[in-house]
Amino acid sequence: MSRKYYENENYENIKLDGERIEDCEFYDCTFMNCTFEDCMLAHSSLNECRFINCKIISLKAEFSQIKYIEFEKCNLIGVNWHDLLPAGNIADPITKIKESILKYNSFMHMNFKRFSFSLNTIQDSAFDECNLMESNFNGCKLESTQFSRCDLRKADFREATGYQISITTNKMKDAKFSFPEVINLLSELGIKVN
């Protein structure tokens, strides 16, 4: 099968359910009001693309990668982002997430240094062994979102709520938190605060 290239294309109101997107390369494309549910991205790549007001649900990936992707006003549900990391981890897979809802997402071995997650909702998700140094979670709703073995030094969690951060497995020097939510950091130590 020959590889298909798409550059500077605009896609609107596309709805794919259970489709296999194979041997495709998208460069500098914009997807607006699209839904991709239970789709498989195989031997494909997306480079410098933008997703605006899209739903991506239970995306699977085989030998595929994303580079410099932006999400705005999107619902991202059940995505394992590690499966979409660029070869060699040289490029940033995601450069912006704005006004979006992320649920059941897994971020593993990803570099989000100085990344802004500010004002997004991230629910029931996990960050594992990620570089989140100097990242901004200010005002995020992080209901049941776990952080394990991450570098959170100088990260900003002020006004964020619902996070589950292990103070014994994460690097946290100079991270910023707000009261009273910061009290939840003590829960794993079995400390009671009245």
Domain parsing of the chain, residue ranges: 9-97, 107-193
Q: Is 189 helix (H, G, I), strand (E, B) or coil?
A: helix
> With 0-12 CB in 10 A as exposed, 13-18 as middle and 19+ as buried, what is 137?
buried
78-120: per-residue pLDDT in tens?
A: 999 999 987 766 678 999 999 999 999 999 999 999 999 999 9
- Predicted local confidence at residue 1, as pLDDT: 56
Q: What percent of the chain has pLDDT over 70?
A: 97
| 110 and 133 Cβ atoms separated by less than 8 Å | no
Short-list 95, 40, 51, 108, CA closest to 76: 51
For the 107-193 domain, the top CATH level (class) is mainly beta
**180 pLDDT above the threshold of 60:** yes
* pLDDT band (50, 70, 90) for residue 188: confident
* 9-97 CATH, one of 2.40.50.100, 3.30.70.20, 1.20.120.1750, 2.160.20.80: 2.160.20.80
Distances, alpha carbon 32 to alpha carbons 36, 62, 85, 127, in Å: 12, 24, 23, 27
36-74: per-residue pLDDT in tens?
A: 999 999 999 999 999 999 999 999 999 999 999 999 999
pTM for this predicted structure: 0.91
**Domains 9-97 and 107-193 belong to one CATH topology:** yes
- Predicted local confidence at residue 193, as pLDDT: 67
